[in-house]
Structure 1
Amino acid sequence: MMRKTPLLLIFISFFSAGLLAQEHKIYISPTGNDHQKGDMYHPLQSITAALERVKAPGQGRYDHGVTIILKDGTYYLDKAITIDNRAQGITIKAEHEGRATLSAGIPLQLTWELYRDGIWKAAIKQGITEIPSLYGNDSLLTLARYPNYQAGILPFGGYDKDALSSQKIKTWKDPGGAYLHALHSGRWGGMHFEITGKVTDTSVSMIGGWQNNRPSKPHPLFRYVENIKEELDVPGEWFFDKNESMLYYIPKQGENIHNIHFIAGHLESCLHLEGTGAQPLSNIHIEGIQFKHTVPTFMKTEEPLMRSDWKVYRQAAIYISHTQNVLIANNAFSMLGGNGIFVSYKNKNVVIKDNLLEKLGASAILFVGGPDAVYNPLYNYGDTVNSSLINRTPGPKNDNYPVDCIASGNLIHDIGLIEKQSAGVQIQIASRISVLHNSIYDVPRAGINIGDGAFGGHDIAYNDVFNTVLETSDHGAFNSWGRDRYWQANRAKMNALVAAEPGLILLDAYQVTKIHDNRFQCEHGWDIDLDDGSSNYNIYNNLCLSGGIKLREGFHRKVRNNILVNNSLHPHVWFKHSEDTVQNNVLMTAFSPIQVADFGDQVDNNVFITEKSLQKNQALGIDNHSVFAALRFKAPAELDYTITNIDAAKGKFSNIPMQQFGVTKTFLKNLALKPSTPLLISQEVEDKQKVIHWGKYQIKNITTLGEQSATGLADMNGVLIIKAPQQNGNYKTLQVNDVILKLDHEPVQNVEDLLMIERKHRWKGHHQFTVWRDQKEILVTN
């Protein structure tokens, strides 16, 4: 029988542990001295010195239970701090939350003189040969570029098809070291090129374009160039001439250049937590610190993440590898050139909680294992493995991946400022990752992305994810791919393969992933996008505000009890015997199927808010027991879609709690934005005379003979534009008095048709309109 430990001994044990922790506090300060005691009154100056100070004498190991306390101020790092697998139980925290900063930059010592045309210059005398990024008075400054940066213009804050034209190149003396940034030709993320020099007076040579795992030419329109001296022409721009070691800057209105504190980006990372496979780094806490000023790393983003669209660079402000029981809490990450936090390779029980991550060049939080943990790893979209060579062992090959980790309560916004193939939370080659109560918005692509089915078991819940896919298209607020070991792009071959051996589909995705109780909204895609074979998902209790739910090619997806505002399910290329079920959802439009002959196990018992949509679905042979109900929502203007006449749903839907989305920490809740309120199409179009606000336009049905006569129409079909943005002389954009007759080749008879068709096709990122103008039909792309 096990002996019981006396309560007094337990108390003494805890008390002694408290004394030990107290005895092992080490203070550091920007004004400290590494030769001092390291107590509160005699602090050290660097974290590195503090770590060295607590080595056990003669053993070369760090002591356990040490707390390193950062006094207020900024700590400029000459290299990234590394805590290796000799350290166990180390805590590094700010004495006052948010008032200690680890900077990867160098403060510049400058003497400015006026150069010309409002441009100032200062010699760099600190041995600095490169300035990848520049900050002035705690703001990121704009590197000289064409076209000039304009806030609110997407993508990139401005773009121009002539960014690399021969006429433009001719004006540049020496563009070597400049960069071309562009979207992928399909708008599937971005790509980046370094200009190595001029070939002729009107052409340049470049390297790069490897950042996307679906190769393409750079987009012909969505592109810009930067780091070119001749493009230094507006306030707020800067340029560093490395041949002269001279910094140039144009002050903004009201700025006194002599009062600006300039910091040059210097390091790629602030902190590395690194153990080994045999001996993980354990019990490390990082709390209350600001991380700033890492440099852009987009030219190093070239490691393919299996067959997803992604490539990554394993680096971040905090890089975590081969650890267990790590806590990253209550920190702030801002003005970073690359990723925020990267959990790489083998890690267990890493908790990333209640952090602010904003203004980042790439992704916020990544959990990415090693491809050696996967059986039959494949890297390119079109790669396949012969069916006889597919390893039939389910799950991982080894333990070189993150497992049982959590990203919870984080506020993430304005990320992917440089790299457009980025996400608020990225998961790939990982198992049982929980993504809970995060607020994620203003991102160029997905808010949350899962890159493959290896190895499932994730819990995606209570998140508020909106203003997503702002600069790209064909994606989701939540996006996943399932390009697992059995999958191949040739659907006929894949269909035959999985029909012969259904067990193949769950070899990698062997654990169920749950997506529930989230609020999602996507601009140019789907609110939930399960693409290319994503399998073994349970999707329930989600409020989808814009793009609906897409399911493509996969198996074992259960979609139940979700509200799809102004939208519906988008079934794409379903397999026979997929075992998919779609039940008990509130749907506002009919399905938009593509290449679907078999609708899974059960698509039924849903609630449609328009009878026409229900009838369209039933014509497909589905939803035979679903119902039409004129549902009333409690306060849709306040994003409360609680159904007040729930009995009308006839037991086919249960209300979803509406106050649970997003961050929970009071400080972050006060900072976090909320989604804009979508108009309810079914209600807005009831009044046929009503003027509808449609983005930057105002539109209405044609309802009078006067309107028909003024436009010269043969009938009253179509939608009249009565207000439009300033046209800037572009003939082929929508204009006042245009009548929209078709949208993406589908007939538009009225406003309801227009809004519904636009919802169905918004994933494309642009639309083609047939409009009636000047007594004839013309084509317009918006």
Structure 2
Amino acid sequence: MFLRAIFSLVIMCVPLPGMTLEYYIAQSGNDQFDGLSMGKTQLGTNGPFLTLGRAQQAIRDLKKNGQLDQPVTIHIQTGNYVLQKPLEFDLRDSGFEGRQITWKAEGGAVVISGGIALQNCAKDQDNPLIWSCATSSLPLDKIKYKNNSRKQGSAPGFELFINQKPLHLSRWPNTDWGHIKTPLAEKTTFDTFEQLPQLSVLSEAQVHIFAGNDWFDEYTPVSSIDSNLNQISLAKNTTYPLASGRRFYLENIQSLLDAPGEWFYDRLGNKISFIPLDNLAPKDIIISAQKNILSLNGANYITLKNLTFQYSTDVAIIIDKSNHVVIDGVEISNIGSRAIEAKNSNDIKVTNSLIHDTGEGGILLSGGDRNSLEASNNVVHNCHIHNFGRIILTYTPAIEVAGVGTSVTHNLVEQAPGTGILIHGNDHLIEKNEIHHVCEQASDCGGIYSGREWTYRGNIIRNNSIHDLFGYGLKNINIATNTIVYGKSDGVRGVYLDDFLSGFTVTGNLFNNAGAMSIQMAGGRDNIIENNVIKTDSYAIWADNRPATTEVKKRFAQAIQNTAWIKKYPKLSNPITNQDWPEGNSLQRNIIITSKPGGLSLRYSLPKQNNIIANNLTWSTTGQFSVDYNILDGLAKRGGAPWQEWLSQGFETGSSYADPCVTITANKVSFCQQSPIKQIGFQPIPADIGLLK
């Protein structure tokens, strides 16, 4: 009987061809076990591993011994797995085609954490609002602040999280911003509108500042503060010259610790002090400690499924030169930088995932070959990304794509200070995404943004819903009366084709109050803007003229020598009448409904030759519709021209002014039976935009 039991056990544990080899990890496990079953056997040798690292070694042993002849699944049981160092996957951890390595959560939440839980915490005797935690036994000074072009200073290299929520370094003012009154030195010294507090011990102080505009923020160390003169001197130059009225706040000064949600690290006193959010008693007190949680370098055919990643100081999952990686059903939060960054990698799929509370954005995928136009086949699908860009506010998008051939489909992007989706490269598909309430702290910002290239061609922005974009920017400044007014920005766009961007297709999208300009085409060539529904109280389409830079023209000249490019983008061979004019664009079959008083909703600065504006349907709920136009090759120019006057110029043809009889509900658009949309050949917009349930 005993021998029969032994034989049965061996049969169960030895993998057979065509089957999946199963390993198990549990917090009740032991790294001396073989990891081949969830339950411990009477023999005491069979049972789950305790650590992720031990399971990783088991995979490496299989490969080393030539035994990886089937798929492998590592079942990770519910629990909090705290890393002492980042997990690092390379070729030794890779699967093969048909033999994928899958790391999978089971039984509940599996949290893979790069954090350190603080103990020894208590209320201060002198100030009962403040809690302090002793840190003398922790290697906190080894966690370095990530200095780069936008983050300069000596703030702590980690963040503090209480009850799963990020706290902010002690700051002034506690909410909103301070404002530059007068620049006293071009990039280093200024006085302020607001009265500065009396401050001391500024050795680690820094400012978070929009120095000269509303679209570029950075952190810069402080040299000195004179509270009597209301002057601040910076230890390093800002990127842009300082300008009156622009925003900043001071942070990382111990005496500024005075409001719920703030914290300070006292290096000399070996303690972290904080005031809990909403004065709630702290339960989980965690600092981010590991730079990354997981890295894949030259690792292929790996799947991560249903896992939760938290508490890294930089990118949570960093991927380089890796292929055929699936990240499905994960949650990533409380991260210092991006959630996922994949470079030089192909067939990376991020699907059905939740990403939030990241410091510098969501997902970056870069792959393919721009010379040959070979696609990366990277994918971001059905992900919910929100509250990103906590630390760097602008140009830290939810999704950034580069290279060639990434698909971004059915995602929900919302609640963020800066750009929603950022595009570099060629042949990307941005389809059926919902984007709203982004650019909340920025101007000159786009829900979907790309720019400054004639060679970013083949990109398609199709069937997306972009709505409720308001932006934030300087409206008025009066030094004499000591007043500054910030508010809704006139520089936020739904789709922003910036600075001579060319070769994009923007079709079948639904824009509903999508910023000051629903679509801006800024001097580009060969763009197609067709079959969109635009409801706005501002500009629907703004197409302007701006000459491309010498460097952009140089890259274009190189591109047209590439036979692969000419074959893929035949318009590159078309003759150019004027390199400084936007040519080859098509604006057709768009439905435009404006509620703006006076109805000024379109602005065209284009040559009539080589551009098509036709078969559009316009309507104003105020009874007036007007157009700004500058026909570059016709010497005709007028601001606020009535619709019929614009049509009389003969540029736009086949278009009409009529009520489209449209209803917009969430991400769906419908038309009444008598709607005139058939007259312009309008095609229905799909109803399945946004997250898939």
Instruction: Tell me which interval the TM-score lies in, with the shorter structure as reference length.
Output: 0.7 to 0.9
SS at match of 2:55: helix
Counterparts in 2 of 1:253 and 1:626: CA distance versus 1, 3 Å? closer
Cα shift at 1:625: 1.9
Number of the residue aligned with 1:48: 53
Q: Is the contact between residue 171 and residue 257 of structure 2 (CA under 8 Å) also seen in structure 1?
A: yes
Cα shift at 1:184: 5.0
Number of the residue aligned with 1:757: none
Residue 266 of structure 1 aligns with an amino acid whose one-letter code is A
Residues 1:587 and 2:533 aligned together = no
SS at match of 1:244: coil
Number of the residue aligned with 1:518: 464
Residues 1:618 and 2:591 aligned together = no
Number of the residue aligned with 1:134: 160
Partner Cα distance (2:116, 2:223) in 1 = 27
Residues 1:661 and 2:689 aligned together = yes
Partner Cα distance (2:380, 2:326) in 1 = 10
Give the 5 Å matches for 1:84-483.
84-89=90-95, 90-96=101-107, 99-118=109-128, 119-130=130-141, 132-149=158-175, 158-161=177-180, 171-183=198-210, 185-195=212-222, 204-207=233-236, 209=238, 215-217=240-242, 220-253=245-278, 255-257=280-282, 260-275=283-298, 281-295=299-313, 316-344=315-343, 346-368=344-366, 395-396=370-371, 403-420=376-393, 421-428=395-402, 430-451=403-424, 454=425, 456-483=426-453
Partner Cα distance (2:379, 2:654) in 1 = 40
SS at match of 2:132: strand
Cα shift at 1:265: 1.1
Residues 1:78 and 2:76 aligned together = no
Residue 32 of structure 1 aligns with an amino acid whose one-letter code is G
Counterparts in 2 of 1:195 and 1:654: CA distance versus 1, 3 Å? same
Identify, as 1 or 2, the structure richer in strand: 2
Counterparts in 2 of 1:171 and 1:114: CA distance versus 1, 3 Å? same
Counterparts in 2 of 1:647 and 1:172: CA distance versus 1, 3 Å? closer
Partner Cα distance (2:300, 2:67) in 1 = 12
Give the 5 Å matches for 1:2-21.
19=16
Match of 2:662 among 633, 636, 651: 633
Normalization by structure 1: what TM-score? 0.66
Partner Cα distance (1:357, 1:335) in 2 = 9
Residues 1:34 and 2:36 aligned together = no
Normalization by structure 2: what TM-score? 0.74
Residue 333 of structure 1 aligns with an amino acid whose one-letter code is I
Counterparts in 2 of 1:194 and 1:91: CA distance versus 1, 3 Å? farther
Cα shift at 1:441: 1.0
Give the 5 Å matches for 1:730-749.
none
Counterparts in 2 of 1:254 and 1:190: CA distance versus 1, 3 Å? closer
* Deviation string, structure 1 residues 306-362 (Cα, Å, up to 9, x no partner): xxxxxxxxxx21111111111011001112121011111x21111111100111111
Following TM superposition, the consecutive aligned residue runs of length 4 or more in structure 1 with deviations greater than 6 angstroms are: 15-18, 166-170, 196-202
Which stretches in structure 2 are left out of the alignment for 5+ residues? 1-11, 40-46, 96-100, 142-155, 182-188, 472-491, 547-579, 595-599, 627-642
Q: Is the contact between residue 176 and residue 198 of structure 1 (CA under 8 Å) also seen in structure 2?
A: no
Q: Is the contact between residue 667 and residue 687 of structure 2 (CA under 8 Å) also seen in structure 1?
A: no
Q: Is the contact between residue 617 and residue 660 of structure 2 (CA under 8 Å) also seen in structure 1?
A: no
Q: Is the contact between residue 346 and residue 367 of structure 2 (CA under 8 Å) also seen in structure 1?
A: no
* Residues paired across the two proteins, number: 558
Q: Is the contact between residue 367 and residue 378 of structure 2 (CA under 8 Å) also seen in structure 1?
A: no
Counterparts in 2 of 1:180 and 1:592: CA distance versus 1, 3 Å? same
SS at match of 2:246: strand
Q: Is the contact between residue 265 and residue 294 of structure 1 (CA under 8 Å) also seen in structure 2?
A: yes
Which stretches in structure 1 are left out of the alignment for 5+ residues? 1-14, 150-156, 276-280, 298-315, 374-394, 484-504, 667-782
Cα shift at 1:640: 3.8
Cα shift at 1:595: 4.6
Cα shift at 1:288: 0.3
Q: Is the contact between residue 183 and residue 472 of structure 1 (CA under 8 Å) also seen in structure 2?
A: no
Cα shift at 1:35: 2.3
Partner Cα distance (2:303, 2:233) in 1 = 49
Residue 651 of structure 2 aligns with an amino acid whose one-letter code is I
Residue 124 of structure 1 aligns with an amino acid whose one-letter code is T
Partner Cα distance (1:74, 1:140) in 2 = 19
Partner Cα distance (2:238, 2:400) in 1 = 21
Q: Is the contact between residue 261 and residue 274 of structure 2 (CA under 8 Å) also seen in structure 1?
A: yes
SS at match of 2:653: coil
Cα shift at 1:173: 2.2
Match of 2:518 among 515, 524, 548: 548
* Deviation string, structure 1 residues 173-211 (Cα, Å, up to 9, x no partner): 22222331122522123211134677999755434756x
SS at match of 1:618: helix
Counterparts in 2 of 1:640 and 1:367: CA distance versus 1, 3 Å? closer
